[in-house]
Structure 1
């Protein structure tokens, strides 16, 4: 049998074990301390304000330098950070909105919140801050701590305002699309589409595109957004009155309110298209007139010879009735050719008619009638 250790031996082992545990705890505390110091140094190097707020004590157990500089108050040469000093720096017109967002985040089931508000900066300027936070809860679900990050979004906000200002003042139609829906349309876009702003906001941009152009628009817009093409594309839209209009469009990707968006420019080219169609119509007419002149000129001389010969042949009645019948038929059709030639020379308008297999040909008779 193995002898049981004596009381003194047990006591010695317990002391040794306690010393080993103390060494481990000391080592762990050193690691934790090092990690804490590293985290604090990293947090202090951040340009964003980082904070931890204890709900019960209404204090900030942790905050970095950026948060302290932004939200503290200097009282008798000492920087003081408190819930009151934080609220003092929030624009008075945004206080109610901020408080409502914070209150909502503390409701059961909520894990946090975010909000953007105007900030009264210590240097006297007004800046835009974006505050995003997480609510930590105990086992029973009670909110205990708030941990958050505050970022200065002033430059982004100014860029967004400049974009909106440029869109409002644009002489052509412009719009903003985010998550596949209209987010903003300017007055010229409203005029072109004949829809009101309220009727457009939140709807699919393709709704006003004529059905036969939708796939074309989708394809070219995607290619332009990917940088694969930079030439504006033309297509037809149907306005609120049911009228078809030709437009020319270009799109570009941007960031708006922290998310990807599409900025589009939209120009009504209906008048230009109609002018182009008129030009093509005039070119067709010119071609018809030139063709008619050429045909008339080329046919006139041989036609006169044929006409003269037929008249001489018909001067005396033919003995053979069939021969006389054929001669009369020849003279009748020669006269028709003369009339058609005259119509060629009198064409001043362009007209066509249906031919075989879906083709169209020049309607000489209609074009000649239109000229009189």
Structure 2
């Protein structure tokens, strides 16, 4: 009403029907605006007292549906207005038309009454005939007024028809608008229901709040399960969630939130992780994401967010972190070089700290060198092995282990022998090997021992062919298979008369016999013949040794010196050197480093072979015994196993046995 400018309106406002009746008894009004919610009107109650007022003063019915308004019109109301469509122009037009129509109706009735009075005066008595003109004049004026009223009525009726047509059009538009609104409301209600079901059934907390955090608009029930507090308390105090934040995280969270609010949310979404303390004292990790919702003008009018309980995720991350640290500690304390090698790029993706001890290079130096590290550091004779690695691993299954031995230059310039054991760690999408996981040990000392052994074997061969003892190899049929040059001299027979001929002497294993020999210069001498049984070229044979006893002392001394050199060599290497007799399960010799590595006494080993087996880790004993059973076959056997020292410490042993 305050926005109406074309007419001046004075309004008396009452809130009850009794107050309204009291007001109209004290004062007259041009129109009544009646709220349908105050009065009940139905098709069976069309003579409501207020509608009867419309016979003297027009009634405008305020209603929520067009159907109720049409019922009011049929019951005597001058007009009706629908709440949803109510506006100042519509209210002004309704007031002006209804009041004008009521006034014209009143003037029309008043004109009819005056006209009847003039007709009664038109039949005067003889005594009054002088007043006819006056009366006629008066009647003409009445006719003129009546004609004017008719024109006014016609105009008013035309306006009413126009108004009725307009109201019908508006009513149709309103009906369509109501139907459309109902459709939209139904769709909105369905959408809100789906949203509510989604919000109430997801495992996270969905919430909506005013931009300044002063009022919480919505929070899903999951808040009570995660925070351990009621949603009601959150609604009552939207800032209460800040009090639940862990003291160590509160300052940073408040700073992040304040920064977003001060920027009017121009910096975009808020994405933070923090801890909360539940009423029972338990701590949970929360991942909160918030984003602004803007209106058509681009202003933020609310903020929505999702808070997820990531306690389990954080626990798993921490466990993974601890496992990673544990793995790194194991890798860095392992005596072996551990690495992850990319076959495609030729680069070590990972190397443990053992690279410093074995090669003198840090893992960072190796990784920074890239593919050049192996190209520059591997021995030129072993480079083809590196180039063939990709092709080599294409033939291996995932569980197969590949062993390689190669030389690589230490940072100090020396060459180190490494033995690697590699398996396929990752494959490309096409199934080809991409990365290999491997470990390597320094076998430089082993290689030196092997070299010494080969040299020893070479020396032994040289000794056999050069010693003064005659050596014969005789098969089971008594045929000589081999004879050294000294046998030719001692038996006084050329080699052609010895080899492939019968030995001709009794063969008694384990006994020593003496017989005459021809010494250099043609002098006779005494020889000592001993016979042993062994295998030669895979066949059982007899080894006949004929020695000039004359030089026995000299030979024994030479032998003692040779054994002493061997013992000094075995006693001074860092690894444990041992001799084992498979047929009797007897340990013949163990070098002193055994006591340092095993932590036990060497003397116990000579007493009982099982004393050594007892030191092997229970999980590895079966595989070790299986390897030992293959010793008589004369194979080169390499195996890794664990031992348990007397102090409980577990150590890994790389064992290489050869016949």
Q: TM-score, normalised by structure 2?
A: 0.32
Structure 2 Cα separation of the partners of residues 51 and 72 of structure 1: 16
Residues 165-203 of structure 1 show CA distances to partners (whole Å, capped at 9, x for unaligned) of 33334422399xxxxxxxxx9xx9457559xxxx99xx8
Q: Secondary structure in 2 aligned to 1:50?
A: strand
Q: Which residue number corresponds to residue 171 of structure 1? A: 330
Residues 253-284 of structure 1 show CA distances to partners (whole Å, capped at 9, x for unaligned) of 9xxxxxxxxxx9x987443x434544553565
Shift of 1:104: 3.8
Preserved contact between residue 209 and residue 236 of structure 1 (Cα < 8 Å): no
User: Highest Rg: 1 or 2?
Assistant: 2
1:79 aligns with 2:233: yes
Shift of 1:293: 6.2
Mapping for residues 4-43 of structure 1, pairs under 5 Å: 7=162, 8-43=164-199
Structure 2 Cα separation of the partners of residues 281 and 24 of structure 1: 98
Instruction: Tell me which of 372, 375, 379 is aligned to 1:211.
Output: 372
* Superposed CA RMSD: 5.2
Q: Which residue number corresponds to residue 248 of structure 2? A: 93
Q: Secondary structure in 2 aligned to 1:122?
A: coil
Task: Call closer, same or farther: CA 1:159–1:113 in 2, change over 3 Å.
Answer: same
Preserved contact between residue 422 and residue 439 of structure 2 (Cα < 8 Å): no
Structure 1 Cα separation of the partners of residues 410 and 222 of structure 2: 53
Q: Secondary structure in 1 aligned to 2:290?
A: strand
Shift of 1:294: 8.0
Stretches of structure 1 that go unaligned for 5 or more consecutive residues are 1-5, 176-184, 254-263, 306-345, 349-372
Shift of 1:299: 9.4
1:119 aligns with 2:276: yes
Mapping for residues 203-242 of structure 1, pairs under 5 Å: 206-207=367-368, 211-213=372-374, 229=398
1:146 aligns with 2:300: no
Preserved contact between residue 50 and residue 149 of structure 1 (Cα < 8 Å): yes
Task: Return 37-46 or 157-166, whichever deviates more.
Answer: 157-166
Structure 1 Cα separation of the partners of residues 413 and 297 of structure 2: 60
Shift of 1:95: 0.3
Structure 2 Cα separation of the partners of residues 244 and 137 of structure 1: 71
Task: Return 82-91 or 139-148, whichever deviates more.
Answer: 139-148
Structure 2 Cα separation of the partners of residues 289 and 145 of structure 1: 94
Q: TM-score, normalised by structure 1?
A: 0.53
Larger relative contact order (Cα-Cα within 8 Å, sequence gap ≥ 6): 1
Q: Which residue number corresponds to residue 546 of structure 2? A: none
Q: Secondary structure in 1 aligned to 2:291?
A: strand
Structure 1 Cα separation of the partners of residues 407 and 210 of structure 2: 60
Preserved contact between residue 229 and residue 279 of structure 2 (Cα < 8 Å): no
Preserved contact between residue 112 and residue 133 of structure 1 (Cα < 8 Å): yes
Number of corresponding residues: 266
Shift of 1:290: 6.4
Task: Call closer, same or farther: CA 1:295–1:25 in 2, change over 3 Å.
Answer: farther
Shift of 1:32: 0.9
Structure 2 Cα separation of the partners of residues 243 and 87 of structure 1: 65
